[in-house]
Amino acid sequence: MALRARDIVNHDATLIGRKAWTDPHIYELEKRGIFAKSWLFLAHESQLPNPGDFVQAYMCETPVIVVRGADREIHANINSCTHRGLPVCRADHGNATKFVCPYHNWTYSVEGELLAIPQEKHLQSKADKGPLGLKPVPRVESWNGMYFGSFDPEIEPLDAYLGDQRWYLDAFFQRFPSGVEFVGSPQRWIINANWKLPVENQIGDVNHGPFLHSAVIPPEANREVFELGRSAVTIPGHGATFRLMPEGTPVEHVAWGFEGMSALLAPEIHDYLREIHAHAEERVGPIRARMKGLTYGVFPNLSFLWSNTAFKVSHPRGPGRVEYWCWSVVPADAPDEFKKILRGNHTTLFGPGGIIEQEDSEAWSQQYVGSRIDFADDRPYYYGLGLGEEKFHPDLPGLVSVTANEFYARHFFLRWRDALEKVED
Amino acid sequence: MSGVTPELQHRVEQWYYREARLLDGRQYETWLALCDPTIRYIVPARGNPLVDNKQQGTEAMISVERELEGVDSDRLPIRDETLPHLMMRMQRAYKPNSWSENPPARTRRIVGNVEIVEATEAQLSVLSNFHLHYARPGSATFFYAGQRRDVLHTRDDHGDYRILRREVVLDMSEIEFPTVGIFF
Ligand code: FES
Ligand SMILES: [Fe+2]
């Protein structure tokens, strides 16, 4: 008999069975119950300034072309030819006037309509091209320049889906007078791990830092997280962690810490950063001006590593494999030379070349190995740390606690369990 | 390249062999002394940009350069580092809590195709290729291939070469390595 979600996640999600990360049937339920029914991040508008600009994206395992059409709107279509299924675009990014499938050269507009079937020259009958375009992603919406797609035509609007998570995201986005820009292509890093572990790591697990990363993260930086770190959950499945610096903290201490290593090593940009943070209060208000971000998660698989200014998506590739995409993000109005320095805040410490994340990627792989072993299914993982210690906060939306409280993960898995139960036979 | 004597070629090759031995022997501190204090250490990303139809029929259409997202591009290199970054990596390697490499990875590299493309009194520009075997106990074994584009100081006080700039062009499609943070 197939495993059921409620056999894996107990009533209050303090115990999670190992099969959550390894079982192929559960993985299929995740596709139907979560990836078919959520808003999934596609691209940022800064990647697509001109008509014809496109980037590749994935929605779970499904390849999607995201393009700015001649109508200047953003379109998202599945990258698979209606004739025999080949991808019609093989590049990561670029500017195109049309997409031509390599196999028999069916030709599509960048917006996805089928324009030409070359074989028809030699045939009497003509196919009705109307329904033969690339399959569009039925819902595409944006918030703050971030485009999301959903395979569920009935899904709630993106604004409602993000809810109060927007308040936390805006603490970053609105900090910069001209917003932010995504730099280049995402780093695409394939890791032998389940997609949920990088996600859980970013929704709220900053508490592994002083332990897993003790070879690199200095004790003062860890102390700051222990003493000033907060974890917030607005809607289950989303999460935000940050340090709430005390009132009167000098802007320097909000503007950069150890995590901003490349910025730290480049005194020429310090005035620029100081200026941004000195005016943060006017843009995001007094509370959020004191927020010094750590990590965020948006259900199901978008992460934001504010401390190192990177967005990430954990694309599943089966239960034991993930394609982890990470984009560096910089202030849009920074001079080009500063952008080049600031992108290093991400790449030096995180991503496939990062000094810190090389520990995480191995931890995630080993968690998959540990979840797959035999004779241990009666030892589900303990997710009960800090149970019930989260409280509403006068100034911060959602439930709030210290970062050691694993409530963010319990909320994620309760939402995960409910989503799977809806599609179980 | 003219002006490259067999002696110079030999000396440079021997230097690279010694460098490889230091790195595979995990003598990172000794290796770091071969780096100039102003070193720039770069690993470009390797993108798949759309082919430019106007370049049809030319070498430019499929040049390696157009795939590289390096430090001078406005895109996202994998690494863009200076001496403090490399020192941090070295120090990490000598701590027991650098968990992903405890036990340490076993590496063995073959450096070849050493080509001195420019030689002046002060500097050498040298290309070399490498195959690097990386085995992480308890995990898996990986294979890296790539080209190093180096600028070397011709000599320091001890008559040794110093690395001023190293750009590592990796030949992967996806990044299927547990880390690209090693010393190539
Ligand atoms: S498969 Fe695309 S044209 Fe035939
Ligand atoms: Fe980590």
Instruction: Say if the Cβ atoms of B181 and A347 lie within 8 Å.
Output: no
Q: Is the pLDDT of residue B160 over 90?
A: no
Closest ligand to the CA of A117: 1
Beta strands in B55-170 (DSSP E): 68-69, 79-81, 106-119, 123-136, 140-153, 162-170
% of chain A residues with pLDDT over 90: 93
Question: pLDDT value at position B148?
Answer: 98
In this predicted model, which residue has the larger pLDDT, A264 or B60? Answer: B60
Using the beta-carbon criterion (under 8 Å), do B180 and A353 form an inter-chain contact? yes
Over range A88-97, report the average pLDDT: 96
Among candidate residues A142, A172, A205, the one where a domain is terminated? A142
Decide if A358 touches B, using CB distance below 8 A.
yes
A99 and A226 housed in the same domain: no
Q: Which ligand 1 atom minimizes the distance to the CA of A84?
A: 1
CB-CB contact of A66 with A102 (8 Å): no
Has residue B173 got a pLDDT over 90?
no
- Given CATH 3.40.50.11740, say whether it is the number of domain B6-170: no
Regarding whether A29 and A74 lie in a shared domain, the answer is no
pLDDT tens digits, one per residue of A266-289: 889 999 999 998 999 999 999 999
Torsion of CA A233, A237, A241, A247, to 10 degrees: -30
User: Is the residue at A156 inside a domain?
Assistant: no
Same domain for A258 and A169, yes or no, is yes
Whether residues A342 and A358 fall in one domain: yes
Catalytic residues of A: 104, 205, 208, 213, 360
Chosen from B41, B43, B50 to mutate, greatest number of chain A CBs within 10 A: B50
Q: Is residue A158 included in any domain, yes or no?
A: no
pLDDT band at B23 (very low <50, low <70, confident <90, very high): very high
Contact across the interface for A344 and B178, Cβ inside 8 Å: no
Look at residue A141 in the predicted model and tell me its pLDDT.
98
CA distance A376 to chain B (A): 20
Instruction: From A78, A79, A80, A83, give the residue whose CB has the most ligand 1 atoms within 8 Å, as the site to mutate.
Output: A83
SS3 at position A414: helix
Check CB contact under 8 Å for B179 and A94. Answer: no
- Asked whether residue A206 falls in the same domain as residue A352, the answer is yes
* pLDDT at A25 > cutoff 70: yes
A86: confidence class by pLDDT, cuts 50, 70, 90: very high
Average pLDDT over residues A345-354: 94
Going by pLDDT thresholds of 50, 70 and 90, the confidence category of residue B2 is low
- DSSP-assigned letter for residue A397: S
Q: Does A151 map to a domain?
A: no
Chain A nearest C-alpha distance from B109 (Å): 19
- A411: in domain: yes
- Verify that A202 and A69 share a domain, yes or no: no
Q: What is the pLDDT of residue B174?
A: 86
Counting one residue from chain A and one from chain B, the pairs whose CB atoms sit within 8 A come to 121
Q: What single letter denotes the amino acid at residue B107?
A: T
Q: Which atom of ligand 1 is nearest to the CA of A101?
A: 2
Helices (H), A246-311: 251-255, 261-264, 270-278, 280-289
Q: Which residues pair with A329 in a beta bridge?
A: A182
> Does the residue A152 lie in any domain?
no
Q: Say whether pLDDT at A231 is over 70.
A: yes
pLDDT higher than threshold 70 for residue A372: yes
- Residue A397, both tokens: 């939306």
Q: Do B49 and A358 touch (CB under 8 A)?
A: no
pLDDT at A261: 80
- pLDDT surpasses 80 at A17: yes
pLDDT, position B156: 62
Quickly state the pLDDT bin for B37 (edges 50, 70, 90): very high
Check pLDDT > 90 for residue A259.
no
Within 8 A by CB and 6+ apart from A114, the residues are A82, A106, A107, A108, A129, A132, A133, A134
For residues A388-414, give the mean pLDDT. Answer: 98
Between positions 173 and 232 of A, the ones with CB within 8 A of B are 183-192, 212, 214-216
Q: Among all ligands shown, which has an atom nearest to the Cα of A206? A: 2
Segments making up each domain of chain B, as ranges: 6-170
How many angstroms is it from A38 CA to the middle of ligand 1?
A: 30
| pLDDT band, very low/low/confident/very high, at B158 (cuts 50, 70, 90) | low
Judge whether A237 and A412 are in contact, CB under 8 Å.
yes
Q: Which residues contact B164 (CB under 8 A, 6 or more apart)?
A: B36, B38, B39, B40, B123, B151, B152, B153
For residue B1, pLDDT over 70 is answered with no
- On whether the CB atoms of residues A29 and A417 are closer than 8 A, the answer is no
* Together in a domain, A129 and A226: no
Contact A78, A135 (CB under 8 A): yes
CATH of the domain at A181: 3.90.380.10
Same-domain pairing of A214 and A304 = yes
Q: Do A353 and B71 touch (CB under 8 A)?
A: no
Measure the CA dihedral A158/A160/A161/A164, to 10°.
Answer: 120
Ligand 1 site-directed mutation target among A84, A107, A119, most atoms within 8 Å of CB: A84
Asked if A26 and A3 touch (Cβ cutoff 8 Å), the reply is: yes
The parent domain of residue A45 ranges over 40-142
Q: How far is the CA of A356 from the centre of ligand 2 (A)?
A: 7
- Tell whether A63 and A178 lie within a shared domain: no
Say what the pLDDT of residue A300 is.
98
Note whether residue A150 is domain-resident. no
Number of domains into which chain A is organized:
2
pLDDT in tens, A29-61: 999 999 999 999 999 999 999 999 999 999 999
Residues A132 and A174 in one domain: no
DSSP label at residue B124: E
* Interchain contact A373–B (C-beta under 8 A): no
Residue nearest to atom 4 of ligand 1 (CA): A104
User: Distance from the CA of B140 to the center of ligand 2, in angstroms?
Assistant: 21
Contact B52, B65 (CB under 8 A): no
Q: Is residue A313 part of a domain?
A: yes
How distant is the Cα of B149 from the closest Cα of chain A, in angstroms? 18
Mean pLDDT computed over B169-173: 93
Tens digits of residue pLDDT in B108-143: 999 999 999 999 989 999 999 999 999 999 889 999
CB contact under 8 A, A361 and B100: yes
Same domain flag for A66 and A178: no
| Ligand 2 center from residue A358 Cα (angstroms) | 9
Ligand 1, atom nearest to A105 Cα: 3
Domain holding A86: CATH number? Answer: 2.102.10.10
Distance A203 CA to ligand 2 centre (A): 12
Please, which pLDDT band fits residue A394 given cuts at 50, 70 and 90? very high
Give the chain A residue whose CA is nearest to the CA of B180.
Answer: A353
- Ligand 1 cavity residues, CB under 6 Å: A 81, 83-84, 86, 101, 103-104, 106
Domain match, A216 and A266 both: yes
